Amino acid sequence: MLNSITEYCTACGACNNICPNKCITMIADDEGFLYPNIDEDQCTNCNLCKQVCPVLNKSVCKNELSPMVYAAWSLDNEVRFDSTSGGIFTELANYVILQGGYVVGARYNSSHLVEHYIISDMEEICLLRQSKYVQSEIGFVLKDIKELLDNEELVMFVGTPCEGAGLLSFLNKDYDNLLLCDFICRGSNSPKAYLKYLDSIKKKYNSKIKKVWFKNKKDGWNKFCTKIEFENGSEYYADRYTDLYMRGYLKYNLYMRPSCSNCSFKGFPRNSDLTLGDFWGVKLNDESIDTDRGTSLVIINSQKGKKYFENIDDQIFKQENAIDKAISFNQCGIDSVMKGNKRNYFFEKIDSMDFEELMTSIINTGLVKG
């Protein structure tokens, strides 16, 4: 592995995408996180992997536009309900595909793990919609994006700030036909911990999983729930305060990637054109308007982002707001979340204990103080 940066590696994929000899593979460690592994026999010491790493080579932000902030949502109520926040991603994706473009984002694969995927059909936007709460595998999608861009195709990329930084570093040039969107990221969770969670739920319901849906809004956006549908017709449903996976993530910080505790890609200005998120604590001029169906935070970072956001005006509600109000309830936009004091304990026990058993034991014995 690139041992000197393991603590800071984000698995953005830039290094293994750029390697001319294909001698870098991404291998999971004991916690389930992917890290680059080099086949020394094939390596020619070209150093492209080190040169492209966005952690080792922090880029200087070229965006000079002062961030413009909006509370917004799709006027399509079905899109708004099915989205994590207000559905602005869907409206932007609709617009890009209508222009003949491509959208790149995270989808669930057949094993319910998450991977980045390219679509050009509006019917597939639903695959990329919604937060997944587990780290996405980038694979070799950066190469595919570059090929599309070089062929003058319009591409919209959506990912964490570190994934966006990896893409920009890999491309190593500005593309007018790239719309780069990131989001307010709290941290990327371990695929291993996530799969152990799903295994625990499957045992309880004695069925294979059909669909995982984080932040389901049946009980509202603010009290967002986790919904899991099973092939036998059963459903698991729990809100953010009772679902053990979300508690381990949001309250106890047990299984985020190590680099997330010292993120290099927080704050403003940002290299992305648009930053999306949940506008927690939003206050509108008309307080009678229902925001609990989901309200998007939209931060415009560039003139390009401003243009694309204006292009969906007819499909959305929007109200301008202030950056300080947006960040006051979205502190993860500027500050890293520190790892929980029992993170190491969690990973020491996760191989030998059922997820629910482990989490219940940790909480009930007071081993973790939230």
Residue 365: the pLDDT is 76
Residues 263, 251 share a domain: no
Query: Is residue 114 domain-resident?
Result: yes
Distance from C-alpha of 323 to C-alpha of 302, rounded to nearest angstrom: 15
204: in domain: yes
Locate 63 and state its tokens: 């965006």
pLDDT score for 369: 47
61 within a domain of the structure (yes/no): no
| Element of type H or E holding 327 | helix 323-328
Whether 21 and 98 map to the same domain: the answer is no
Residue 126 burial (CB count, 10 A): 14
Encode 200-227: b = buried (16+ Cβ within 10 Å), e = exposed: bbeeebebebeebbbbbbeeebeebbbb
Say if residue 178 is in the same domain as residue 270: yes
Tokens of 159: 């990912």
In which order are the strands placed within the sheet that holds 225-230? 209-216, 225-230, 235-239
Say whether both 161 and 302 belong to one domain.
yes
17 and 115, same domain (yes or no): no
pLDDT of the residue at 366: 63
Percentage with pLDDT > 70 across the chain = 97
Residues 281 and 181 reside in one and the same domain: yes
Give per-residue burial for 83-105: e unless 16+ CB within 10 Å, then b: bbbbbbbbbbbbbbbeeebbbbb
Task: Report the 10 Å Cβ neighbour count for 242.
Answer: 11
With a cut of 50, list the residues of the chain below it in pLDDT: 1-4, 369-370
Tell me: do 115 and 214 sit in the same domain.
no
pLDDT of residue 370: 43
Same domain, 347 and 308: no
Question: What's the pLDDT score for residue 367?
Answer: 55
Q: Residue 74 — φ and ψ, nearest 5°?
A: -70, 140
For residue 7, what is the domain's CATH number? 3.30.70.20
Q: Answer yes or no: do 306 and 251 share one domain.
A: no
Assess if residue 73 is contained within a domain.
yes
Give the other-Cβ count within 10 Å of 153's Cβ: 16
Residues listed for the chain: 370
Reported as a single tens digit per residue, the pLDDT across 199-219 is 999 999 999 999 999 999 999
Amino acid at residue number 75? L
Q: Is residue 58 part of a domain?
A: no
Specify the pLDDT at position 65: 79
Whether residue 59 is contained in a domain is answered as no
The range of the structural domain enclosing residue 273 comes to 68-188+256-333
Number of domains present in the structure of the chain:
3
- Asked if 158 and 290 sit in the same domain, the reply is yes
pLDDT score of 364: 85
Task: Tell whether 93 and 233 lie within a shared domain.
Answer: no
Strands (E) located in 201-352: 209-216, 225-230, 235-239, 274-278, 296-300, 316-321
